[in-house]
Amino acid sequence: PAGERLVRLSCIISDNGRAAGRCGLGAVMGSKRLKAIAARGTKKIEVADPNSLNDSREEILEVVTENLKAFSEYGTSRGVVAFEEMGNLPIKNWTRGRFSGAANISGVRMAETILIGKKACFSCPVACGRYVKVSEGPYAPLEGYGPEYETIAALGSLCMNDNLESIAKANDLCNRFGLDTISVGATIAFAMECYEKGIITKGDTGGIELTWGNHEAMIKMVELIGRREGFGAVLGEGSKRAAEKIGRGAENYAMHVKGLEIPMHSPYRFKEMGLQYATSERGACHLRGFSMLPARGILIPDIGLDKKLDGFTIEGKSHVVKIMQDACRMIDALGICKFIVLFGKVSLITLTKLYTAVTGWEVTLEDLMRAGERIWMLQRVFNVKMGTKREDDSLPKRFLEEPMKEGAAKGQVVELEPMLKEYYAERGLDENGKPMEKKLKELILDFAVKFIK
Average pLDDT rounded to a whole number, residues 102-120: 98
Q: Which of 378, 387, 376, 382 is nearest to 432 (CA)?
A: 387
Q: How far apart are CA 219 and CA 225, in angstroms?
A: 10
Q: What is the pLDDT of residue 381?
A: 98
pLDDT above 90 covers what percent of the chain? 98
Q: Which of 121, 128, 124 is nearest to 146 (CA)?
A: 128
> By the 8 A CB rule, do 110 and 100 touch?
no
Average pLDDT rounded to a whole number, residues 342-362: 97
Is this model's pTM higher than 0.95 or not?
Answer: yes
Answer whether the bond into residue 125 is a cis peptide, omega within 30°.
no
Q: How far apart are CA 60 and CA 74, in angstroms?
A: 21
Q: How far apart are CA 106 and CA 77, in angstroms?
A: 6
Average pLDDT rounded to a whole number, residues 335-341: 95
| Per-residue pLDDT at 280 exceeds 90 | yes
Pairing of strands 256-257, 142-145: unpaired
> By the 8 A CB rule, do 30 and 4 touch?
yes
Confidence band (pLDDT; 50, 70, 90) for 148? Answer: very high
Average pLDDT rounded to a whole number, residues 380-406: 98
Specify which residues 117 forms β-bridges with.
Answer: 131
Q: Which of 429, 430, 391, 399 is nearest to 415 (CA)?
A: 399
Which ranges of 260-345 would DSSP assign to H, the alpha helix?
A: 271-279, 317-334, 338
pLDDT single digits (tens) 220-276: 999 999 999 999 999 999 999 999 999 999 999 999 999 999 999 999 999 999 999
- Architecture of the CATH domain 12-39+50-254: Orthogonal Bundle (1.10)
Would you list the DSSP string of 202-268?
HHHHTS----TT-HHHHHHHHHHHHHT-TTHHHHTT-HHHHHHHH-TTGGGG--EETTEE--SS-TT
Confidence band (pLDDT; 50, 70, 90) for 143? Answer: very high
Average pLDDT rounded to a whole number, residues 98-114: 98
Q: In this structure, what are the phi and psi dihedrals at residue 187, rounded to the nearest 5 degrees? A: -75, -35
Sequence-ordered list of residues with C-beta below 8 angstroms from that of 29, at least 6 positions apart, any chain: 3, 12, 35
Q: Which of 221, 101, 242, 118 is nearest to 170 (CA)?
A: 221
Q: What is the pLDDT of residue 327?
A: 98
The C-alpha angle 308, 314, 317, rounded to 5 degrees, equals 60
Q: What is the pLDDT of residue 16?
A: 87
Q: Does residue 16 come out as left (phi exceeding 0), alpha (psi in the -120 to 50 range) or beta?
A: left
CATH, domain range 271-452: 1.10.599.10
Average pLDDT rounded to a whole number, residues 167-176: 98
Q: Where are the domains of the chain?
A: 12-39+50-254, 271-452
pLDDT single digits (tens) 292-325: 999 999 999 999 999 999 999 999 999 999 999 9
Q: Do domains 12-39+50-254 and 271-452 have the same CATH topology?
A: no
Q: Which of 30, 23, 38 is nearest to 1 (CA)?
A: 30
